[in-house]
Structure 1
Amino acid sequence: MITISLCMIVKNEEKVLARCLDSICDLMDEIIIVDTGSTDRTKEIAACYTDKIYDFQWNNDFSAARNFSFTKASKEYIYVADADEVIDEENREKFRILKEAMVPEVEIVQMYYTNQLAFGTTYNFDEEYRPKLYKRLREFMWVEPVHEAVNLEPVIFDSEIRIQHLPLSNHSKRDFGIFKKIMQDGNGLSKKLHNMYAKELFISGEKQDFIEAADFFEASASDSLRSEEEVLEAICVLVKTGRLENDMNRLLKYALRGVATQSSSEICFEVGEYFYQKSDFAEAVLWFYNAAFETECILNIRYGKEFPFARLAECYRRLGNETEAKEYEKLLVSDKEEGII
Structure 2
Amino acid sequence: MITISLCMIVKNEEDNISRCLISVRDIVDEIIIVDTGSTDKTKEIAGLFTNKVYDFEWINDFSAARNFSFSKATKDYILWLDADDVLLDADRLKLKRVKEILDPSVDVVMMNYNYAFDEKGNVVLSHFRERLLKRAKNFFWSDPIHEFISFEGKVVNSDITITHKKAHTNNRRNLNILEAMLAEGKEFSPRNMFYFAREKLNVNEYEGAIEYFNKMLDSEKGLPADCITSCIYLAKAYKAKDDRKNMLKALIRSFEYDTPRAEICCQLGYFYKDIEDYKRAIFWFDLAMKLEKPESKWGPILHEYWGFIPSIELCLCYYKLGNIEEAIKFNNKAAEYKP
TM-score normalised over the length of structure 2: 0.72
| Structure with the greater alpha carbon radius of gyration | 1
The answer to whether the 8 A contact 1:240-1:270 is kept is no
The answer to whether the 8 A contact 1:119-1:167 is kept is no
Instruction: Determine the structure 1 residue equivalent to 2:266.
Output: 269
Taking the aligned partners of 1:125 and 1:51, their CA distance within structure 2 comes to 37
Q: CA-to-partner distance for each residue in 1:128-159, whole Å, 9 max, x for gaps?
A: 654333332249xxxxxxxxxxxx96344555
Taking the aligned partners of 1:269 and 1:38, their CA distance within structure 2 comes to 43
1:325 alignment partner, SS class? helix
Query: Which of 9-18 and 24-33 deviates more?
Result: 24-33
TM-fit CA distance, 1:215: 1.1
Instruction: Determine the structure 1 residue equivalent to 2:49.
Output: 49
TM-fit CA distance, 1:67: 0.8
Map of 1:1-341 to 2, 5 A cutoff?
A: 1-89=1-89, 91-96=91-96, 98-99=98-99, 104-108=104-108, 110=109, 112-113=111-112, 115-118=114-117, 130-138=129-137, 154-156=153-155, 161-168=160-167, 175=174, 178=177, 181-182=180-181, 185-187=184-186, 190=189, 208=204, 210-223=206-219, 232-255=228-251, 265-293=262-290, 300-336=302-338
Taking the aligned partners of 2:157 and 2:244, their CA distance within structure 1 comes to 48
One-letter amino acid of the structure 2 residue matched with residue 334 of structure 1: E
Taking the aligned partners of 1:58 and 1:157, their CA distance within structure 2 comes to 33
TM-fit CA distance, 1:278: 3.7
The answer to whether the 8 A contact 2:197-2:211 is kept is no
TM-fit CA distance, 1:327: 1.9
The answer to whether the 8 A contact 1:310-1:332 is kept is yes
TM-fit CA distance, 1:68: 0.7
Taking the aligned partners of 1:331 and 1:55, their CA distance within structure 2 comes to 53
Taking the aligned partners of 1:275 and 1:233, their CA distance within structure 2 comes to 20
TM-fit CA distance, 1:187: 4.4
| Count of paired positions | 318
Q: CA-to-partner distance for each residue in 1:251-283, whole Å, 9 max, x for gaps?
A: 355456567997655554334424433444445
Question: Structure 1 stretches of 5 or more lacking a match?
Answer: 140-151
Relative to structure 1, is the Cα distance of residues 253 and 79 closer, same or farther in structure 2, using a 3 angstrom cutoff?
Answer: closer
Instruction: Determine the structure 2 residue equivalent to 1:146.
Output: none
Query: Which of 110-119 and 55-64 deviates more?
Result: 110-119
Relative to structure 1, is the Cα distance of residues 199 and 313 closer, same or farther in structure 2, using a 3 angstrom cutoff?
Answer: farther
TM-fit CA distance, 1:217: 1.3
The higher relative CO (CA closer than 8 Å, separation ≥ 6) is in 2
One-letter amino acid of the structure 2 residue matched with residue 38 of structure 1: S
One-letter amino acid of the structure 2 residue matched with residue 313 of structure 1: C
Taking the aligned partners of 1:173 and 1:42, their CA distance within structure 2 comes to 23
Query: Which of 65-74 and 130-139 deviates more?
Result: 130-139
TM-fit CA distance, 1:17: 0.6
TM-score normalised over the length of structure 1: 0.71
Taking the aligned partners of 1:244 and 1:126, their CA distance within structure 2 comes to 23
- Structural RMSD (CA): 4.2
Taking the aligned partners of 1:112 and 1:41, their CA distance within structure 2 comes to 30
